[in-house]
Structure formats: C-alpha cells, structure tokens
Amino acid sequence: MAVYDLEEQEQISEIKAWWEKYGTLVTAVVLAVALSSVGWQAWNWYQRKQAGEAAVLYVTAVNAGSANDPQKVREAAGQLIEKHSGSAYAAMGALIAGKVQAESGDYKNAAILLAWVGEHGESPAIRDMARLRLAAVQLDEGSFDSALKTLEASPGEGYALAFADLKGDVLAAQGKPVEARAAYEAALAVAASSSDAQLRELLQAKMDALGASK
Amino acid sequence: MFDAVRNNRIVVQGILGLIVLTFAFFGIESYLGKGSGEKPLAEVAGQPISRAEFEQELRRHQDRLRAQLGAEADLETLNSPAVREQVLDSLINRRLLTRFAQDQHLAVPDAQLQDTIAKLPAFQEEGRFSKARYQQILASQGMTQPGFEAQMRQDLAFQQIIAAVGGGAVASLSSTSQLLGLQLEERKMRVSNFNAGDYAKGVAVSDEEIAAYYDANKARFEQAARAKAEYVIFSRDGLRATVKPEEKDVRQWYDAHQGNYGTPEERGARHILIQVAPDAKPEAVEAAKAKAESIVVQLREKDGKNFAELAKGESQDPGSAANGGDLGSFSRGMMVKPFEDAVFSLKPGEISDPVRTDFGFHVIQTTSVKPSSIKPFDEVRGQIEDELRGQAAARKFAEQAEAFSNVIYEQPDSLKPAAEQFKLEIHTTDWISKGTPAPAPFDNKRLLDAVFSADVLDNHHNSEAIDLGDARLVAARVVSHEPAKLRPMEDVRGEIVATLTHEKAAKAAASAGEAALESLKKGQNAALEFSPEQSVRRAGSSLSASALRAVFSVDSSKLPAYAGAATADGFQIFQITEVKRDEIKKDDPRVVALRKQYEQLIGERDLAVFLSGLRKTYGVEINQGELQKS
C-alpha cells in the first residue's frame, strides 16, 4: 500500500506542475472550442430559421400559383428575392412566378423574374432553363431581338437542342424563313444523336413548312 | 493484466486515442457495416446505395408492374436489365434530390406537412381527417408516426423542387400555335401507284442469285427446335366428377344458408312490457303477472284497438312505449326465444297471454306477416350440389396436389403411373416450338420452357408438375423432337424466287415511278391513273412516314405539285391539288390546350437536365456488374 501512496504523491505533484505550466493554455483552448461550437450552433439555427421563413414564402407562391392568383405569387417571389436572395428558394420562387405571370399575360414582370434567375440561379442548368423560359416569354411579347439575344450565349449540353429550336421559332415568327431553317437544321444536327424520333420528325416538319412558304 | 497496462501506459493510451479518433471521424458505421464484404450498387456523392435498399425498391416496382401487366408479367421481364437499371436510376435521383434539398436548406413548413397529411383520403373518415384512423393505418403498415412524417417531409421537399423545375416550364404561345398549325395543315391529293406486281413479268431470277440469297439469309431459313409432347392435367375441375355430395350435407347446407335462397318469414309485432327481474321474489313475479293479465283482459275486450294507448301508459319498455309498443318487423333469430315463439305462433291481430322472458312479462300482438320467399329445397338442390361439389373438389385438389407432383417426379420415365392413379387422360400435341404461339396449355411460358429444357428434351424425363393457376397442375414429356436445323435450299427455293422476283419488280416499279415524276415536274403529261382526291394531315393519317414527308415537304407555291416516295411494294406519286393552312390566333382554345401538353413535355425535359446536372455536381458511380448480379 505504502508503495502506491508514494507513487501517487509523485504523480499528483507532476500533474500540479503540468497544470501550472499549461493550465491557462488548456482553459483558453477549451473556451475557444466551446465558443466556436456555440457560434456554429447559432449560425445553423439562424440558417434554419431563415430557410424556414423562405420555405413558407415559397409554399405560399406555389399554392397561389395553383389557385391562379398572379399577384400573390409575384408578391411572394418578390419578397424571396428581396430578403432571401442567397437561398435557392429565391430562384425557385421566381421560376414559379415567371410562369404564372407569363400565363396571365404579364410578359413584362415574367421577363424580369426569369432574367433574375438567368443571372443568379445557383447552377448552370437552372440558369439555362431560366434563359430558355425568358426567351419564350420575350417571343410572345413580340420582342424578337431580345429573345434572340437571350438565346445567343451557348447553353450547357442538355439545352443545345432546345435553344436552337426556339431560335428557329423566333426567326420564323419574325418572318425570316432562311435563318429559321438554319436554326432548325442546327437543332436537327443535335437531335441526330438523340433517340427521340418524334422530336426529329417535329423539327423536320417545321423545316418543311418553312420550305413550302418560300 | 493490470500490471501490463500500467507498464505500457503510453501504448495503451495510444490505442485508446486511435479508437476515439476513428469514432470521431468515421462514426460507428465503419465498425458495423464492414465485414459483410458487400459492394454497393452505386455511390451518390460518396454515399453507397446498398443491395438491400435496391432489392426492396425493386420488389416494390415489380409489384406495381405485376398489377399493371397481370398475366403477361413473367420473371424475365420483371427482372430484366432495363428494369433493374430503371429502379437504380430512380433511387439515384431520389438521393440527388435529397442531397440538393439538404445543401440548399430546403424546409417543409409544419403547417404544410399537417395540411397535406390531413388531406390524404386514406386518413379521412366521412370527409374529415381522423387521428385514430391515421394511427391505425400507420400501425397496420408497420410505420411509426415520426418515420412516416419524415418520409412525407422528404416527398414534399422533392415536390418543391419539381414544382419549380418541372412545373414552371413555359411554352411560348407563338411556338405552340406554330405547332398547332403544323398539326392542322391539310393537303388534298391524289395518288398513283407503281406496284411491283405490274412489273413482275419478264423478271428473271438466276440460280446463282438464289444461291447467293440463300447463303446471305440463312437465319431466315432456320427452323427452331420443335417437339411433340404428351401431357396430363390434374385440376380441381377435373376432380368434380369424382366427388358426390351426400343428401344430408346438401340438406344441412340448405338449412344453414337460407339467406342465399330468398328472404325468410318476417313478422311485425308490438308489445307491452311489465318489468320483473329474472331473480325477483315470487310475490313480485305474481304481482307483475297479475298486472300483465289485467292488461290482456283490457285489450281483448276491445279487440286490441286500445293497444297503442295502453302501451303508452303501461309499458315499461322505454324503447317502444312511446310508439305504442311497436317493434317493427323482424325474422327468426333476432328476438329472445320465448318472445319469438309467441310472435310466430300468433295470428295477425291476436293478443297473446303474458309471456315471461328475462325482461319481465310481455303482452304481445302480431301486427303483420310477410311470408317467407325462400325457394323450396328441391328447386335449389342442383345449385347446392354444384357448390358443394366445387368445394369438395377444391379440398381434394389441395390434399392430392403434392402426391400428384411426387408421382410425376418419382416416376420420371412415364406419365402413365400418374394418369392411372389420378384417373387422368393423357393428351398429345402436334409440333410445338419456342417462339411460335402454341395451343393451351403450352401457351404457358414456364411449361414451354420446361418442355425445351435439357432434362425433358434430351433425357426424356417428365417435366415437373407446373402450376397453371386456377387450381390446375400440368406435367408433360416429350414424345419426339427435332433439333433446330437449316432448311435445305431445295425446300425453300420457291420462297427465294418469290422474294427476289418481288425485289426486282419493286425496283423496276420505282425507277418507272421516278421517271414519271421527273416528267410531271417538268410539266409534261405522264398519262397516269390517279386515285380519287383525299385530304391528309400530318397526324393520324394512314400514309407512311416517308409518304407524309413527301406530301408535306413539297413546294406548294404552284399547284398542282408533284411528290413521290418509294414503298415496300414499288413507288407512289402524289399530286397535291390544294393546301389548306388556317390562320391560328394565339388565344385559340386549342392553342391553350396544346400548350399544357407542350409544357408538360418541356417540364419533363427540364427535370431530366436538372437531374443530370446534379449527377455531375455530386458525382454518381454505378457498379454495372454488381447491378446485374441478382
């Protein structure tokens, strides 16, 4: 027993000496870890709260869209862009609102919303999607040149065909059959690698129709 | 032991530290998951999709397919590489969407979750959400409430993404009306045919050409392996003749199931109750009885006309006293026995003596009699015998099915033992082969596969007993068979000559047609016979795709215009006489309707592009070898 007592005494004094030397440092480190953990939790909590608010606005927009209430959709989407522009909900809300405005004939507001997504959407696919929708809205608005400009920058691979196809539609509506034909031909070249025979037939039909009206 | 720890403190501390570190960085899964040595089927953003998860989803998908396809669903289609790929794809897509939702902090508001669940018809009772029903259904599906709600939350988060990406698709009205214009454009035209038949005269086919065709098209002259088989069917329906239900069983069934053969006698009655407990003292019973008897006397004096009035005043049955003691009408078995006996023995209008039951003394009057409409025994006896025979046959089938299968298996060199033991007829077939429709029961794929399996075809064994469904078992054996072979040239020479003659004649017809088309286009007269005029549209026409293209792509600025297209049988020339193109307004209701369809297509495409973008962002690796290994 006595042997151990001696050993323990020795250990205790060792620990004391160690604590004298490093005590402040250890306390500081523990404190820093604790604080940053609290900070991290708080940041998470704040983000969740923000996301929760954005989600409520977004759901409001979606529901108002199904209920065919363009104004309410626009308001919700506007708030999302204003207060939660960093959240994916801003772009998602603008996409919904863009469609609803376009459907109700308010091309101007639809174009503003979709152009915002075309610029601020978080992924290339979303930005291309928004630009394509924007061009469709501009075509219906009669702003052919803006539509062509929107379609100018080449999209990612998933949208090459759709862009060329819509370009053809714009040019055809503008009364430029030769250019439209060239656009459809470009679309057809992309479609050649696609297995969708119906799509190819459709493009072919559009081209044929142009040829006939020469 | 502790000394060892004490002496090697540093080492032990080191080991403990390492263990703690692995938990910190890899979690407990790295201990539990390893060891099975199983490779995941795919990895999405570094997270594995396990075989168990895949198999579960595959089973669910197969159940859905089976419900859709019914009898056509065989194991091969249900488990085809394409189906497996599709299932894995949908699992991957779910993972991608989940990950995207997490990264973007998508959230489902509690109110939306509650609202969605409350609106699911499965959880509603009389049009309103029922908490009890909700919990009951979840329990019956083996789900917990938090588990189900988490699942719903995930689905709703997916729907948020899909609403924006897929549901937000915009189709231009201008494009849509262009599309509708294409669909509605109508061209009137007449057809002139150049048929191979008219050019067959003078076409010669040489022996060399025949030989060359035979050599080049051997696959066409392959004859599949074929066999003649004999088979026995052991079935419930076949067993019907071997069972005969006994008279007493038929009678018993009739008595027990009278409701099936009409409605039994019903009687209406009213009563006046003087309550007395079953264990009441004799004085109390006497008093009650005396009271009841005095009521009987009062009633009989007036022929029961005062029944309702007395019931209101005297009856101690709270349920009926107010309506004059009326109990409505009922059949036997619905009232206590002594009461029922009284009602069914009285004549209508007659007043009973007091009847004692557990409730007390009843004074009863039968008010109406609706006689039984049950068909007499002799009339339904055949029907019952049929029913019982079916039941007995089904029982016998269930009892003997295994014995039948065993005899087929244990005596594999003949169907006779089974035929004799179970009194079955041995049928024989004509030639049957795989890949050509065979008469029943060989239209069953499993049976056909069994007949052409090595054991049956080459070893001349019985097939196993195969379940055809509807309580039928079949076993077959091969009587004679011919392996697959190439039919010799002499046998097929005629076919080849016909084919080559047609090919050459069609070519001649096509060049004649093309020449005629050229001269028509130059404005010369080609003296052709044209069909009566017909009008065609791009969609829903009986013309072939190449003919349609010819008709619709031809320049219509000068009419009549001419176009031509080769067909399998020669050539067709089209004379287009009129082009009708409607001016389509953007607010045409047909445009609006078509736009909906168009937007749906665009939305599907947008979703697919979005998902393939997520695939690139997060990284998806598919382990093809593991996927197709079942």
DSSP reduced 3-state for B357: strand
**Cα gap B2→B473, rounded to integer Å:** 72
Least confident of A18-22, A51-55, B9-13, B83-87: B9-13
The amino acid sitting at A158 is: G
Nearest residue in chain A measured CA to CA from B108: A55
The amino acid sitting at B82 is: A
Question: Where does the pLDDT of residue A212 fall: very low under 50, low under 70, confident under 90, or very high at 90 and above?
Answer: very low
Residues of chain A with CATH 1.25.40.10: 2-153
Question: Is residue B534 within a helix (H) or strand (E), and if so which, with residue range?
Answer: strand B534-537
Q: What whole-number percentage of chain B has pLDDT above 70?
A: 95
A139: nearest CB among B174, B609, B610? B174
B107: nearest CB among A51, A62, A209? A51
A57 contacts on B by Cβ (under 8 Å): none
Tell me the nearest-neighbour CA distance from A200 into chain B, angstroms.
12
Q: What's the pLDDT score for residue A4?
A: 66
Q: What's the pLDDT score for residue B445?
A: 85
Question: Where does the pLDDT of residue B31 fall: very low under 50, low under 70, confident under 90, or very high at 90 and above?
Answer: low
Model's pTM, two decimal places?
0.61
Question: Where does the pLDDT of residue A36 fall: very low under 50, low under 70, confident under 90, or very high at 90 and above?
Answer: very high
Least confident of B58-62, B184-188, B545-549: B545-549
pLDDT at A119 over 80: yes
Q: What's the pLDDT score for residue A9?
A: 87
The amino acid sitting at B46 is: G
Nearest to residue B156, comparing CAs of B217, B210, B209, B111? Answer: B111
Q: What's the pLDDT score for residue B143?
A: 84
The β-bridge relationship of strands B427-428 and B47-49 is unpaired
| DSSP-derived secondary structure letter, B72 | G
Question: Where does the pLDDT of residue B190 fall: very low under 50, low under 70, confident under 90, or very high at 90 and above?
Answer: very high
CA A84 from chain center: how many Å? 13
B606: nearest CB among A48, A89, A129? A129
Question: Where does the pLDDT of residue B434 fall: very low under 50, low under 70, confident under 90, or very high at 90 and above?
Answer: confident
In angstroms, the Cα distances linking B506 to B509, B510, B560, B570, B609 are: 5, 6, 27, 4, 46
Question: Where does the pLDDT of residue B446 fall: very low under 50, low under 70, confident under 90, or very high at 90 and above?
Answer: confident
Question: Where does the pLDDT of residue B37 fall: very low under 50, low under 70, confident under 90, or very high at 90 and above?
Answer: low
Nearest to residue A89, comparing CAs of A51, A116, A132, A127? Answer: A51
How do residues A52-99 score in pLDDT, each as one tens digit? 899 999 999 999 988 888 999 999 999 999 998 888 899 999 999 999
How do residues B231-260 score in pLDDT, each as one tens digit? 999 999 889 988 888 888 888 888 888 878
Q: What's the pLDDT score for residue B35?
A: 46
DSSP assignment of B154-184? HHHHHHHHHHHHTTT----HHHHHHHHHHHH
pLDDT at A140 over 80: yes
Q: What's the pLDDT score for residue B102?
A: 87
The β-bridge relationship of strands B355-357 and B432-433 is unpaired
Q: What's the pLDDT score for residue B68?
A: 81
Instruction: State chain A's mean pLDDT as an integer.
Output: 88
Q: Are A59 and A93 in contact (CB under 8 A)?
A: no
Q: Residue A197 phi/psi, 5° resolution?
A: -65, -35
Q: What's the pLDDT score for residue A213?
A: 42
How do residues B107-158 score in pLDDT, each as one tens digit? 899 888 998 898 888 888 888 888 888 888 888 888 888 989 998 999 899 9
Is-cis flag, bond preceding B560, omega within 30? yes
The amino acid sitting at A211 is: G
Nearest residue in chain B measured CA to CA from A135: B172
Q: Which of residues 524-563 of B touch A (CB under 8 A)?
A: 538, 545, 549, 552-557
Question: Where does the pLDDT of residue B23 fall: very low under 50, low under 70, confident under 90, or very high at 90 and above?
Answer: low
Tell if the CB–CB gap between B105 and A58 is shorter than 8 Å: no
Superfamily of domain A2-153: Tetratricopeptide repeat domain (1.25.40.10)
Question: Where does the pLDDT of residue B25 fall: very low under 50, low under 70, confident under 90, or very high at 90 and above?
Answer: low
CA A114 from chain center: how many Å? 11
A166: nearest CB among B109, B175, B181? B175
**Cα gap B63→B70, rounded to integer Å:** 10
B609 contacts on A by Cβ (under 8 Å): 125, 128-129, 156, 158-159
Q: What's the pLDDT score for residue A101?
A: 93
Q: How many CA atoms lie within 13 A of B143 on its CB side?
A: 14
Report how many Cβ contacts below 8 Å link chain A to chain B: 131
Between residues A77 and B585, the one the model is more confident about: A77
Average pLDDT over residues B400-425: 91
Q: What's the pLDDT score for residue B630?
A: 65
| DSSP-derived secondary structure letter, B35 | T
A212 contacts on B by Cβ (under 8 Å): 552-557, 579
The β-bridge relationship of strands B222-223 and B485-486 is antiparallel
How do residues B252-287 score in pLDDT, each as one tens digit? 888 888 878 888 888 999 999 998 888 888 888 888
Tell if the CB–CB gap between B556 and A212 is shorter than 8 Å: yes
Tokens 């291309």 correspond to what residue?
A128
